[in-house]
Amino acid sequence: MSYQRTQTFNNRRQQNWSRNQNTVAFVSSIKLGPVAHTVLVALMITVLGLIYLTQATRATSYDYATQKIDSQIAELNTQKNDLQIENARLTALETVKKSSVASTMTTPVSTNYVEQ
Amino acid sequence: MNLELQKGSRSKILAAILFGFMTVFSVRLFYLQIIQHDYYVDAAKREQVKRLTIPAKRGTIYALDGQTPVPLVMNQTVYTVFADPQVASDNNKIIDTIRRVAGGNARPDLESLLSLKDSRYQILATKISRTQADKIKAAKLSGIGFQEESQRVYPEGSLAAQTLGFIDYSGIGRYGVEGKLNKRLTGVDGLLQSVTDVSDVPLTIGNNNIDQPAVDGDNIVLSIDRNVQSHTEQALADGLKRTGATRGSAIVMDPQTGKIMAMTNLPTYDPSKLNEVKDVSLFNNAVVSAPYEPGSDVKTLTIATGIDKGVVTPTSTYVNTDHIQVDDRTISNAIFGRTGEITFQYALNWSLNTGFVTIAQRLGDGKSITREARDTMYDYFYNRFKLGQLTGVEVAGEAAGTIIPPTVAEGNAVRYSNMAFGQGMDVPMIQVASAFNSIVNGGKYYKPTVLAGVVDKNGKYIPNKIENPSISISKSTADQVREMTRVARTLFFARGDKPGYYIGGKTGTSQVVRDGVYANDETIGTYLGYGGSEDTTRYVIMIQVSGDHKELEGGLDAMPIFTDISNWMIDYLDLQPKG
């Protein structure tokens, strides 16, 4: 894109008080009409919308991942709980009393105590 | 010129039409978005935002095995299998799979249930485990669904059932610890409010999401020791079989803390089979909820009162004539012939009512049970030994019982003469056992409790601190009465005791009030005793046996059950004999 000098002014006041200011203004040679402006604005809005949608979709995908992990945790907790119940049943007094080990136990004939 | 005018007219007409449409749209949008804003926002929220309750997990109830908590009541996720008969297609496969996997949990009439094509919901099996549910799911049966629910399970079966209680169909604790500590065990449900998708998966979009986690119920550790409880239940069952009694109760306590190590009543029930219970009175824990006239067990409290007030000693004497006059009533001994000048130790040994009425008289002017004597007895029985008032034990349905104060007309001398040997008053066993604790532990009254502590979220057992006791009697008095009960037991009932231990107790045989009068054909037998070393009492055991129209005695019927449990406790607690 190139620019050309289109206008020059030399104002006495500027010369005196704004010596370092640009005194030349450049104007683009490409002219955008109202339709082009409208299209560009629409495109910008579309891009922004797509960015928003992308982010929102990504956040939602995390929700599904979280939900999946939560389900796995719940499933594992249920399994752990079932195992704890099974463990409690296997170590319950009635089970122990009926075990083969218990059935072979005998009452001691005599008991000696260690002096404390 | 005409052409330009026509062009302009069409544009204007088109503009006017468009403007009209735009106006209609704008007005409609204004109506929908501004005027009806709240309505549609609410409708959208109803559609998209779900409020899901996160159920709090009901606390587990543990017993102790020595010092280690073991679960007595747990939660298990179970499933109900249901069918939509209109959708179910392969009935034979469904029936075969359900029967094979669910076994006894399947309904017997599956064929007829599945043939009900007008119905959309028929239950095929209940309370199946997760593993069973997974197997049925794996069969990919059409028209079959599952409902998840949590239920209480009891790994130890009916052990301590009446202390535990149960939860009803709506999940509320009833009876026992479940009823008394329902709020602590229930916890607080959480709340999840969120925008959800069609599958009800919560999404993070939206501004009004709430994620309030559930607070699970406390995991409570009972002071009930499962080994002591199991043996006590067995010993009581054996005792009932031996004596022919149809009802029995027992409590084993640690007198140094007030903790209840075992508490049982027979007959009992299986909390996992509530539908099989025919008599709802079985749900009550009679040890805490059934006041009765405790009889001669209370003589230990009367002698403690007399010694503590300095009006008698174990060796001081009175003249026993087998009868004693109180106002217009003559009170007699149950055992005749031990007449003459006898000591109060002798009166306790033979459980002579006259001796204890004499103590009541000596609390007054020595001749009659004056108001001063009754005030003193009431102070000791009610205020110090806490009879006739709720103990606060953490079991639902506790009864306070009745101790008539001397301030009312019924609290006269005759009443208090009867109270001196355990009649004319109604108290549950737990009150008598707790009062006796304070005699055998040196005079400290500990509030009875079934709570030992909690298990925290990390599974760590945190024991409760023991509450400070109140002082019921002096240590000197307590030691004297403790020795008196040891002597009383040694004379008559110590044959079955393991040698080398300090064991004592008192029999009780109470009359039963039926239709307002004492029944002639029914008595309740009790035995209240302790064991340990000379220095420290380690356990207190109270036994009660009864039956309709059965005359049961403390020494003959209840005492052997005490001996059975006492000898077992000595081994269980690893107590070393003296000498």
CATH number, residue B560:
3.40.710.10
Tell me what the mean pLDDT of segment B257-268 comes to: 97
Residue B121 lies in a domain: yes
Would you give the end-to-end CA distance of chain B in angstroms?
Answer: 140
Predicted confidence at residue B330, as pLDDT, reads: 94
B486 and B356 in one domain? yes
Which residue of chain A has the CA closest to B156? A92
**B19 to B4, B5, B7, B9, B273: CA distances (angstroms):** 22, 20, 18, 15, 77
What does the DSSP assignment read for B197-242?
-TT--EES-SS--EEE--BPPPEEEEEEEHHHHHHHHHHHHHHHHH
Residue B466 lies in a domain: yes
B476 and B438 in one domain? yes
Residue B175 lies in a domain: no
Burial status of residue B110 (CB atoms within 10 A of its CB: 0-12, 13-18, 19 or more): buried
B108 and B189 in one domain? yes
Q: Do B131 and A82 touch (CB under 8 A)?
A: yes
Q: pLDDT tens for residues B110-164?
A: 999 999 888 889 999 988 988 899 899 999 888 899 988 889 999 999 999 999 9
B497 and B517 in one domain? yes
pLDDT band, very low/low/confident/very high, at A66 (cuts 50, 70, 90): confident
If you search the block for the tokens 């001398």, which residue do you land on? B413
Kindly state the tokens that stand for B387. 């009879």
Residues of B in contact with A54 (CB under 8 A): none
Predicted confidence at residue B241, as pLDDT, reads: 96
Residues of B in contact with A88 (CB under 8 A): 70-71, 74, 155-156
Nearest CB neighbour to A85, from listed B70, B155, B159: B155
Residue B286 lies in a domain: no
B189 and B265 in one domain? no
Tell me what the mean pLDDT of segment B460-465 comes to: 96
Q: pLDDT tens for residues A3-50?
A: 555 555 555 555 555 556 666 677 777 888 888 999 999 999 999 999
pLDDT band, very low/low/confident/very high, at B454 (cuts 50, 70, 90): very high
Residue B365 has pLDDT above 50, yes or no: yes
Kindly state the tokens that stand for B179. 């009823």
Predicted confidence at residue A20, as pLDDT, reads: 63
B257 and B192 in one domain? no
Strands B340-343 and B317-320: antiparallel
How many domains does chain B contain in total? 2
Range of weakest confidence among B98-112, B288-302, B412-426: B98-112
B320 and B377 in one domain? yes
B230 and B141 in one domain? no
Q: What dihedral do alpha carbons A70, A76, A77, A80 form, nearest 10°?
A: -170
Q: Do B129 and A82 touch (CB under 8 A)?
A: yes
B349 and B236 in one domain? yes
Residue B340 has pLDDT above 70, yes or no: yes
Residue B278 lies in a domain: no
CA distance A15 to A13: 5
**B108 to B91, B120, B124: CA distances (angstroms):** 14, 19, 9
Residue B277 lies in a domain: no
ipTM > 0.85, yes or no = no
Residue B167 lies in a domain: no
> Of B352, B277, B359, nearest to B313 (Cα)?
B359
Q: Name the range with the highest mean pLDDT among A73-87, B133-147, B371-385.
A: B371-385
CA distance B229 to B65: 10
Is B314:B355 a contact under the CB 8 Å cutoff? no
- Give the CATH number of the domain where residue B197 resides: 3.90.1310
Predicted confidence at residue A4, as pLDDT, reads: 57
Predicted confidence at residue A110, as pLDDT, reads: 80
Range of weakest confidence among A38-42, B9-13, B275-279: B9-13
B241 and B150 in one domain? no
Range of weakest confidence among B40-49, B194-203, B370-379, B393-402: B194-203
DSSP state at residue B380: I
Numbered residues of chain B with Cβ closer than 8 Å to any chain A Cβ: 70-71, 74-77, 129-131, 153, 155-157, 159, 201-205, 226-227, 230, 576-577
Residue B379 has pLDDT above 90, yes or no: yes
Element (H, E) at B518: strand B517-532
Strands B329-332 and B259-266: unpaired
Residue B452 has pLDDT above 60, yes or no: yes
Nearest CA to CA, how far is B70 from chain A (Å)? 8
The domain of B238 spans 224-271+292-572
Tell me what the mean pLDDT of segment B393-408 comes to: 97
pLDDT band, very low/low/confident/very high, at B506 (cuts 50, 70, 90): very high
Average pLDDT, chain B: 93
B241 and B127 in one domain? no
